[in-house]
Amino acid sequence: MEFAPVLDMTIVVSSHLSVQAPAHKLGTSNFMKNSRLPRSVFVLLAALAAIYFWSNYAQLPDVVASHFNARGVPNGWQTKSMFFTFFVGAVGIAWLVGFGVPGLISNMPTALINLPHKEYWLAPERRAETLAFLNRSFAWFGCAALVLILFTFDYAVQSNLYPGHRPDPGHIWYVVVGFSAFVALWIIRLTMYFARTPTQNVRS
């Protein structure tokens, strides 16, 4: 049993980033609903991962290979309890980045938010819409980070379960490259969204 189907989620994540933010103003209830899909995706993936890794926990040796070089050869080891502690911590960090950071931003005063043209984007009549866009963007980033984490830890699990037939390390590199491309597009999307105001677009 492998976690390879999770790779499909990166396609879903990328497709949602390409959707233009709605022009109408969003109320508080819509602001919360805006992250419902990525939040559900995150929780579903985390739950499936918990079931999957728990089903393999007893089959793993007490000390597992937890770090590998570029060719997939293990060069670091941990107890399996510590290994899964790190896994839970990594998932927690992905959740914090995807859902905790935008929540923190939404409660910060405007003066403390570093955003291009923030006087425009954080004006009272646009603040909810702007925060909704950030909320959605960070939520999908958290999902993408979770996908990377799942593939990385699954590689280690498969390598320990089948040391004589380890997975192809090239698969991990594909995931890393895909995540890097996602991050680049994510940054470009945010930069382009906030770099210019609609007023500037009309004048240019």
Ranges of each domain in the chain? 4-58+71-195
* pLDDT tens figures, 144-198: 999 999 999 999 999 999 988 888 888 889 999 999 999 999 999 999 999 877 6
* pLDDT tens figures, 99-108: 999 999 999 9
User: What global pTM score does this model have?
Assistant: 0.77
Q: 3-class SS at 177?
A: helix
What pLDDT is attached to residue 34?
57
Check the CA dihedral 125-127-133-139 and report its sign: negative
What pLDDT is attached to residue 196?
78
Mean pLDDT for the stretch of residues 111-133: 91
**Number of C-alpha atoms within 13 angstroms, CB side, residue 46?**
20
What pLDDT is attached to residue 60?
93
Contacts of 52 (CB under 8 A, 6+ apart): 1, 3, 154
Mean pLDDT for the stretch of residues 43-58: 94
| Higher-scoring residue by pLDDT: 20, 139 | 139
Q: What are the CA-CA distances from residue 47 to residues 77, 169, 181 (Å)?
A: 26, 25, 26
Q: How big is the chain, counted in residues?
A: 204
Q: Can you read off the two tokens belonging to residue 173?
A: 């590199």
| Higher-scoring residue by pLDDT: 32, 114 | 114
* pLDDT tens figures, 77-88: 999 999 999 999
What pLDDT is attached to residue 90?
96
